[in-house]
Amino acid sequence: MARTPRPSTSEASETASAAAPAGTETPAGSREEGAAPRTRTSALDRAVQILDALQQANRPATAYEVARMVGAPLSTVYSIINDLVEKNLLARRVDGTIWLGSRLYGYGLTYASSLDYLAVAHEEMQRLSAEVEETVQVCGLEDGMMVVQQMAEGPGHFRVTSRVGSRVPLNWTASGRLLVGHLPDAERVAFFAQHAQSSPTGRAETRPQVLAQIAREALEARLSIQIGESDASVACLAAPVLDNTGTCVFTISIVMPEAKAVLGTERFAQAVQAVAARIEARLGWRHREQEPAA
């Protein structure tokens, strides 16, 4: 049963000037003295918003629905959709709905094959899931959100799962805090000030200064635990995977029912930390002095 919330894609606030055709800038001299400058959303930005909206909806949609999802005029969205369909980045189905195009699949395969760390993470993720008999995820950072990059479902009858590609505010999750824990203090505060959101349970921390401190401490401890902050019945334990610069490249996490976590998390914490350390070692990212004592 899916538990991870899927927030809407953040949308650009810029709109095209009413006096200027799409794709043109409003001449500075035409603005009234003292009026705020008008900005516009580029066609490329709109195209990305359309692709993001379809990915998050996880189903085909009509052009009208897509326009509502991205908050753009139907005429603008329809024109961009036609361009993307022509280039096979989107596909128009028999019923007229729009879905992701075959060209994206090729891009995805090429991108995935270039990332050796995902292959290593996938193997270790499967091993950890079998060991702890819970759902395990590999998560990264994208556009100010935590994104689920890979997932292995636990074998139990009651499983907490989420769709690969799901994006969640960083302050809701154990992984999210780790992903920015390596940033300088001021950057972490600014990041959370911009991206932190209230969770459905109302239990997720939203104060930027507090989140920045939690993120730093979690990274130093190489462990982050979240229980019931984003969903009243879900808990998560995450460990960071750091490269040689100390940057958190991605996280590996165990997702489980909250009721099980409250009984004790030590075994799960040790398991996820050990796997993160093993991934770093396999990728050549773990220095000898970082190795745990025998």
- pLDDT tens column, 99-136: 999 999 888 777 766 667 888 899 999 999 999 999 99
Mean pLDDT of all residues in the chain? 80
Q: Which pLDDT tens digit goes with each residue over 217-236?
A: 999 999 999 887 766 688 89
Backbone angles phi, psi at 147, to 5 degrees: -120, 135
Q: Which pLDDT tens digit goes with each residue over 100-109?
A: 999 998 887 7
pLDDT > 70? residue 213: yes
Q: Which CATH number fits domain 115-290: 3.40.50.2020, 3.30.450.40, 3.20.180.10, 3.40.50.1370?
A: 3.30.450.40
Token pair 């959101």 is found at 197
Q: Which CATH number fits domain 40-106: 1.10.10.10, 3.40.50.10490, 3.40.50.300, 3.40.50.10780?
A: 1.10.10.10
DSSP annotation of 61 reads B
Mean pLDDT of the region 45-73: 93
pLDDT score at 2: 41
pLDDT score at 230: 67
How would residue 263 be classed by pLDDT, with cut points 50, 70 and 90? confident
Long-range contacts of 186-189 (CB under 8 A, 24+ apart): 188/212, 188/215, 188/216
pLDDT score at 162: 65
Exposure of 228 by Cβ count < 10 A (0-12 exposed, 13-18 middle, 19+ buried)? Answer: middle
pLDDT score at 42: 86
Backbone angles phi, psi at 131, to 5 degrees: -70, -50
d(Cα 291, Cα 294) in Å, to the nearest integer? 9
Domain ranges of the chain: 40-106, 115-290
Assess whether the region 40-106 and the region 115-290 belong to the same CATH fold: no
Cβ(200)–Cβ(262) below 8 Å: no
Closest to 40 (Cα-Cα) out of 28, 58, 30, 25: 25
pLDDT score at 187: 95
Buried residues in 108-141 as b, exposed as e (16+ CB within 10 A): eeeeeeeeebbebbbebbeebbebbebbbbbbbb
Q: Which pLDDT tens digit goes with each residue over 178-190?
A: 999 999 999 999 9
Structure tokens at 236: 């998560």
pLDDT score at 158: 54
Cβ(160)–Cβ(257) below 8 Å: yes
Above pLDDT 70, what percent of the chain? 79
pLDDT > 80? residue 30: no
Which of 14-18, 96-100, 121-125 has the lowest average pLDDT? 14-18
pLDDT score at 40: 65
d(Cα 216, Cα 178) in Å, to the nearest integer? 8
How would residue 160 be classed by pLDDT, with cut points 50, 70 and 90? low
Instruction: Render 130-171 in DSSP notation, one character per residue.
Output: HHHTSEEEEEEEETTEEEEEEEE--SSSS--B--TT-EEEGG
d(Cα 280, Cα 235) in Å, to the nearest integer? 25
Number of H helices, E strands in the chain: 10, 8
Mean pLDDT of the region 194-198: 90
